[in-house]
Amino acid sequence: MSSKKEILNDYKLAVESREDSYIGRKEVFMGKAKFGIFGDGKELPQIAMAKVFKNGDFRSGYYRDQTFMMAIGELTSQQFFAQLYAHTSIDDEPASAGRMMNGHFGTRLIDEKGEWKDLMKMKNSSSDISNTGGQMPRLLGLAYASKLYRNNPELGKFKQFSSNGNEVAFGTIGNASTSEGHFFEAMNAAGVLQVPMVMAVWDDEYGISVPKEYHTTKGSISKALAGLQRTAKENGFEILTTRGWDYMDLCETFKKAEQIARNEHVPVLVHVEEVTQPQGHSTSGSHERYKSKERLEWEAKYDCLKKMREWILDEKIASGKELDAIEEESKKIAKTARVAAWKAYSQAISGDTVSLVGMIESVAERSAEKTKLLSIAKSIKEGLNINKLELTKGAKKALRLTREEPSRSRDMLIHWLKTNTQKRHDEYSSHLYSQSQYSALNIGTVPATYSDQSKMVDGREVLQACFDEILKRNPLVFAIGEDVGKIGDVNQGFAGLQEKYGEYRVTDTGIRETTIIGQGLGAALRGLRPIVEIQYLDYLLYAVQTLSDDLATLQYRTKGGQKAPLIIRSRGHRLEGVWHSGSPMGMIINALRGVFVLVPRNMTQAAGMYNTLLESDDAALLIECLNGYRLKERLPENIGEFKVPLGIPEVIREGSDVTIVTYGSMCRIVMDAANELARYGIEVEVIDVQTLLPFDRHQSIISSIQKTNRLIVADEDVPGGASAYILEKLVVQQECYKHLDSQPQTITANEHRPAYGSDGDYYSKPSTDTVFDKVYEMMAESEPNKYPDIY
């Protein structure tokens, strides 16, 4: 049994956390915060789990875990309130610098220079996302990393990331969210992989207003998953149950779960039943609307704080007077923290407020709009709970009123607005991608070199040679995916490499796209360098939620506090039929901002991009050309060293009449059409953008358009997909319209997915004929006599 001191400290923390929840709700209703979601009712289970959470361990949880974060020493009450107020200071709100709503936790795994901290000296939490169930794929990867660190001797030297794989990944989820596909997929994969994972389910029997009978078979996730429980003869995961108000049983249950996971590398499901939620789901509604009188009475009786107090008194661990004093002190701590957090938040704005008011008043002295300007200054000075947007709007309003009254005071106000805008960009819009020295954009060009002995090989052999060199030089790299292991992927990019480097370096997975991504994401958070494969680009849809909500937002939502330099490998563009010819680039580039999207035209360019990415700390999706694996390419002599920079287009054919901007498999089609057009006296300049995110970083394409005065964007996406994105970059950002003699045109696929077969491809996607006809038509528009109608 725990000591008296430990028990009373636990009770004190539980009361403090509960008081934070109560105060937090009031702050929302008072207008000091936009929204509140809290962990009240789950204090004891989280304290029990925290007791077995050790340095080096990782959490992948959800927005109810405030007490756990406080118990491991990674959240104070003041930080809790700073997040509620959206304080943009990393020092005050280290989880997200005010970018995420309250209840979203995470520790800073890298320093301000982008260097990994010593994760073995820390209690680590991956950064939360709001999507219920969305933490599950990442959790699998965090646990899988321990398996690799334990079973691959080459990784033993990376002491800052692991101690022989002894780390446990702890997950948390609400009972209703166990209905999500992510949960089932991750739990099944954990059972297959046998990884050290403790999965805690906080079961309050509801999902907002919907009771358990609508959520879960048998009304119990532990009963529903009983068939996956391990036996003496079969692997699976262990299943333990406990009650959310039973302090001692909670402690014993989590101790048992942790020992099984840590020592045996077996995943454990801890189903915590009879949990209450005193304030309901969130500040957006009241649980009295949907819970029966009997249920509310039961929750009041079995509130975990009340039950712990009763137990302490029954066991004579402390007197009622002692507990009253503890409760009084805990509530005082919470209230003091709230005041301190609000003061820090307000003071961060007050300096800008004072300077702005002074400038507006100064402008007003000699203005015909003096009354209105002084009114603006007064509303800012006397405003209740003033925020930054009101300062910016006030400054802009003042400048609009005085647009015809130049003065030194007005110039100072303009300078204030510009400086303020830069500051807000850093606070709210920085770190979409890495801003460290390891940014992929900092990796320069290393040209591919060739000799007289350089072989002509299949494109797949270029990739295989590249991956061979990567695996040889960097033990942190591993590759996983469907069919990647034994057969070396369906197109043989990893052929023979599992046999050479072992199953922990080149590994097969089941058909489970979102947890393949999660497996890599979690491992990347722990210092490894995964290359994970989505077999065909069409199947990326299964994983878009994890890619978009978790991976793509990671550096942004932590303001550079976490990184997962995951490389996703896929293949797309042309092949056969509705589900094996994917080019949904518009969807990808809009859903995956925060992940670089690379579209090499051949396997040599792809290899150079892999080399670039593995020197960087950015995440990227690299889409290889499906029809390029058996096309011949020269094998570079420096296959493991040459690098293709990102965001640098390449002119692959010079011309003077029309500029065609394209990428991927379309490069070959456009080049064939350009050669055909040359026979008719039309010279096409072909530009391969190479990467869509980033796109033409140095705005080099404009120089081609200045020369040709005509622009066509060619791709295989639907109309208005990637072509619209590229046009926005060129017409709006590069202002190429100033140099156009003709309306810019696009060549795209049809709106439907491609039909099967060669005929289906021809009539569904752009062909050489499509490109020829579009260019010829554009030239005929200005010179009809020279280019008469053909058809």
Q: How far apart are CA 448 and CA 440, in angstroms?
A: 18
CA distance 40 to 277: 6
69 in Cβ contact with 39 (< 8 Å): no
Q: Is 47's pLDDT higher than 70?
A: yes
Comparison of pLDDT for 533 and 289, the residue scoring more: 533
Is residue 280 very low, low, confident or very high in pLDDT (cuts 50, 70, 90)? confident
What would the 3-class secondary structure string for 17-33 be?
HHHHHHHHHHHHHCCCC
Q: Is residue 768 within 8 Å of 669, Cβ to Cβ?
A: yes
Of 80, 82, 58, the closest CA to residue 13 belongs to 80
**pTM greater than 0.75:** yes
Segment 236-252, tens digit of pLDDT? 999 999 999 999 999 99
Q: Hey, how many other C-beta atoms are within 10 angstroms of the C-beta on 165?
A: 21
Whole-number CA gyration radius for the chain: 30
Whole-angstrom distance, CA of residue 181 vs CA of residue 90: 34
Give tens-digit pLDDT for 712-751. 999 999 999 999 999 999 999 999 999 999 999 999 999 9
Contact partners, residue 721, CB within 8 Å, separation at least 6: 583, 584, 585, 586, 587, 715, 748
Which tokens belong to 29? 């209703």
- Would you say residue 384 has pLDDT above 90? no
**Helix axis angle, 77-84 to 320-364, nearest 10°:** 40
Beta-strand ranges (E) seen in 290-444 are none
Q: Which whole number is the average pLDDT over 205-212? A: 90
Which tens digit of pLDDT belongs to each residue from 519-528? 999 999 999 9
- Bridge partners (DSSP) of residue 686 are 653, 660
Read off the pLDDT of each residue in 258-285 and give the average, rounded to a whole number.
93
Q: How many percent of the chain have pLDDT more than 90?
A: 94
pLDDT at 699: 96
CB atoms within 10 A of CB 612: 24
Q: Is 279 helix (H, G, I), strand (E, B) or coil?
A: coil
**pLDDT classification of 385: cutoffs 50, 70, 90:** confident
Show the CA angle centred on residue 604, arms to residues 600 and 609, nearest 5°. 55
Closest CA to 597 of 587, 454, 555, 578: 587
Among residues 603, 591, 605, 474, which one has the least CA distance to residue 531? Answer: 474
CA distance readout (Å), 346 to 260, 351, 569: 48, 9, 46
DSSP assignment of 423-489 equals: HHHHHHH--SS--STT-GGG---B-----TTPPEEEHHHHHHHHHHHHHHH-TTEEEEETTTSSS-S
Tokens of 18: 């509960």
User: Rounded to an integer, what distance in angstroms lies between the CA atom of residue 296 and that of residue 275?
Assistant: 12
Whether the CB-CB separation of 183 and 150 falls below 8 Å is answered with no
Which of 744, 748, 700, 697 has the alpha carbon at shortest distance from 722?
A: 748
- Residue 275 DSSP code: -
pLDDT score at 286:
85
* Residue 422 structure tokens: 């830069």
**Bridge-partner residues for 745, per DSSP?**
712
- Express each pLDDT in 557-604 by its tens digit: 999 999 999 999 999 988 778 888 889 999 999 999 999 999 999 999
Using CA atoms, how far apart are residues 585 and 409, in angstroms rounded to an integer? 49
- 3-state helix/strand/coil string of 98-140: CCCCCCCCCCCCECCCCCECCHHHCCEECCCCCCCCCHHHHHH
Polymer length of the chain: 791
Name the pLDDT band for 2 (thresholds 50, 70, 90). confident
pLDDT digits (tens, 9 = 90+) for 654-674: 999 999 999 999 999 999 999
pLDDT in the model for residue 176: 94
Residue 582: its pLDDT value, please?
Answer: 81
Q: What was the pLDDT predicted at 586?
A: 96
Task: Give φ, ψ of 496 to 5 degrees.
Answer: 80, -5
C-beta of residue 729 within 8 angstroms of C-beta of residue 544: no
Mean pLDDT of 611-626: 97
Question: Mean of the pLDDT values across residues 293-318?
Answer: 96
Q: What pLDDT is attached to residue 1?
A: 67
Among 273, 190, 257, 237, which residue's Cα sits nearest to residue 53? 257
**What integer best gives the mean pLDDT of the chain?**
96
Report the C-alpha gap between 350 and 353 in whole angstroms. Answer: 5
- In eight-state DSSP terms, residue 755 is P
pLDDT at 284 over 80: no
pLDDT tens, residue by residue, 429-469: 999 999 999 999 999 999 999 999 999 999 999 999 999 99
Q: Which two tokens stand for residue 500?
A: 């050479």
Cα 516 from Cα 510, distance rounded (Å) = 9
